[in-house]
Amino acid sequence: MDEIFKQQVYEVARLIPKGRVSTYGAIAKAVGYPNHSRHVGKAMGGCPKNVPAHRVISSSGVLSVPEFQPKLEAEGITIENLRIKNFKKLFWDPLAEL
């Protein structure tokens, strides 16, 4: 995977505000690779500690990494059965908000 792509993914992920979530696909679009959501997921798997990987979820509003639930709940996000409650309201779209 290209190092520049990873760094772009990390930059966008760092911009996600506390208490909000974005998706692998939205980040892929924001960095110019709209069909590369899996690559974003792969990049997030090995991201630095200063990247809030817990705020990046699947497009269906489901947590891909169940271990991230406590971090999201600590930011005030309600989760039921690994699904973000009020996902559409909490969704942060980098293309619309940057």
Would you give the DSSP letter of residue 16? S
Q: What is the CATH number of the domain that holds 46?
A: 1.10.10.10
Indicate whether 96 belongs to any domain: no
pLDDT tens-place string over residues 33-70: 999 999 999 999 989 999 999 999 999 999 989 999 99
Give domain status of residue 26, yes or no. Answer: yes
Q: Which pTM does this prediction carry?
A: 0.94
Write out the residue range of the structural domain in which residue 16 sits. Answer: 3-90
Domain count, the chain: 1
Mean pLDDT across 62-91:
96
CA-to-CA distance for 92 and 41, rounded, in angstroms?
17
Is 53 a domain residue? yes
CA dist 97 → 16, 48, 87 (Å): 10, 24, 16
